[in-house]
Amino acid sequence: MSGFWRIGQGSVSVAVKVQPKSRRPGLQGRAPSVDGERLRIGVTEAAEDGRANRAACATLAAALGIAPALISVTQGATSRQKTLRIDGDPATLVFGLSAL
């Protein structure tokens, strides 16, 4: 994994740590983890009925300037530590992620 992302075929997987009910919503830098670095995302929504997951996807999409529908949760739907999959050109996505 390069940083907090991993390049796949037609997509990029991003390791994130989501903070529901955050007082500071948005991207909050990087956080160390047992399995490597993660991108920290704060959201104001509670972790109920997938609202925090959707908000985390929307926050990352806004930071990258892409549609939220291109991002989905592939691992950790009920955990704060998640893996998000971003569909699209990996070269373009990695360029945007490296700027975060």
5-98: CATH, from 3.30.1200.10, 3.40.630.30, 3.30.365.10, 2.30.38.10: 3.30.1200.10
**pTM exceeding 0.85:** yes
- Label residue 81 by pLDDT band (50, 70, 90): very high
Spell out the domain ranges in the chain.
Answer: 5-98
- pLDDT for 1: 44
Q: Is-contact 93 12, C-beta < 8 A?
A: yes
pLDDT tens for residues 4-46? Answer: 999 999 999 999 999 999 999 999 999 998 888 999 999 999 9
DSSP E strands in the chain: the ranges are 5-8, 11-19, 26-31, 38-42, 71-75, 81-87
Retrieve residue 37's tokens: 């670095």
